[in-house]
């Protein structure tokens, strides 16, 4: 399994506030997107634009979370 898949799976498993588990689709979607905010090294290496890709990726994820 890829590092990103592992991150998203862990984020979805950990969606709790106190004893209340968050089960709405919106909560789960937000948790998955937040887990993807930082690109993995493998993702960065897959592009020819490694210098600016970190900032661009974070900006795109931040926009998705608005």
Contact 61, 33 (CB under 8 A): yes
Secondary structure letter of residue 17 according to DSSP: E
pLDDT at 52: 78
pLDDT tens digits in sequence order for the chain, 66 residues long: 688 888 888 888 876 656 666 677 888 888 888 888 888 887 777 766 656 787 888 887 888 777
The pTM assigned to this predicted structure is 0.61
pLDDT at 16: 61
- Is 39 exposed, middle or buried, given 0-12, 13-18 or 19+ CB atoms closer than 10 A? buried
pLDDT at 28: 83
Length of the chain: 66
């Amino acid at each position: 399994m890829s590092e990103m898949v592992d991150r998203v799976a862990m984020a979805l498993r950990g969606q709790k506030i106190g004893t209340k588990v968050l089960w709405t689709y919106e909560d789960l979607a937000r948790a998955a997107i937040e887990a993807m905010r930082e690109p993995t090294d493998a993702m960065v290496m897959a592009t020819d634009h490694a210098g600016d890709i970190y900032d661009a990726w974070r900006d795109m994820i931040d926009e998705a979370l608005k």
